[in-house]
Structure 1
Amino acid sequence: MNATSPDPRFTIYHNPDCGTSRNTLALIRNSGVEPVVVEYLKTPPDRATLTGLIAAMGMPVRALLREKGTPYAELGLGDAALSDDALIDAMLAHPILINRPIVVTPLGAKLCRPSEAVLDLLPSPQLGPFVKEDGEVVIDEAGRRVV
């Protein structure tokens, strides 16, 4: 794949207004990969895609719900009695409820919060240093992860 053509093996469900999502995308690109970028607020996943992502991440449906800046409280989604199907219905009706960024690579799928969690999904090393938008150094000059 050349740098201008997205590699279909790598996908990020992205919100360009989210700093964590922007940092995650930049880390993917810093490994030499141009992923398929799905702006999920503009192009929400369908039920099969969303349930497949949840299964691939091996996480409870509730763990993917975003509360901050969403209609979570107004919709009563904190009710522990709600079924997974009801929670998925809410995410499909209100994609802002889907936490982000979700990244899929040949190494798996993961909700990448914090953004450096994506490093576990990238088969290629970082190509250079990386500093998050807030100034936190993630990758040093030698391409090593800063812990």
Structure 2
Amino acid sequence: MPTDIIIYHNPECGTSRNALGLIRNAGIEPHVIEYLKTPPARPLLAQLIERAGITPRDLLREKGTPYAELGLGDESLTDEALLDAMMAHPILINRPLVVSQLGVKLCRPSEVVLDMLPSPQQGAFAKEDGERVVDERGQRVV
């Protein structure tokens, strides 16, 4: 049975690169969507948020974004207003967001992606910072 995985990816983000590496370490070549170049349409983004069981605020990224200057910390802002901000400034969308047959998740930390993969890891994997996530047998390091 084919495995279809989508990762909304930012190649400048270490967490996103680590999640992509873990997907590939399971022998899966995902559909990689560089969401800063090709942001999801608003209805799709809203659907992904709903399927992930989170709120638009949960998907907002603060660091390295116009979050503060746009006043997005204001708790009275509606979900619609937050979606508007993410559409206008895709850098506000946190990453990586992964879609698989097992659901949708914001994979922070990157090893959360292991719960999204229908295939086991094929070997050892360490994050870019050297932290071991998967051992030589393909087992998650706890």
TM-score (norm 1): 0.94
SS at match of 2:18: helix
CA deviations over 1:28-82 (Å, ceiling 9, x no partner): 0000110000000000111111001001100011010000000000000011110
Q: Which of 73, 82, 96 does residue 77 from structure 2 map onto?
A: 82
- The answer to whether the 8 A contact 2:7-2:31 is kept is yes
Unaligned runs of at least 5 residues, structure 2: none
Equivalent position of 2:21 in the other structure: 26
- The answer to whether the 8 A contact 2:3-2:28 is kept is no
Q: Which of 34, 40, 46 does residue 45 from structure 1 map onto?
A: 40
**Number of equivalences:** 142
Identity %: 70
Unaligned runs of at least 5 residues, structure 1: 2-6
Equivalent position of 2:102 in the other structure: 107
- The answer to whether the 8 A contact 1:8-1:36 is kept is no
SS at match of 1:49: helix
SS at match of 1:37: strand
Amino acid at match of 1:74: E
1:62 aligns with 2:57: yes
1:16 aligns with 2:11: yes
- Cα distance in 2 for residues equivalent to 1:118 and 1:55: 18
- Structure 1 stretches of at least 4 aligned residues deviating more than 4 Å after TM superposition: none
How far the C-alpha of 1:9 sits from its partner, in A, is 2.1
Equivalent position of 2:118 in the other structure: 123
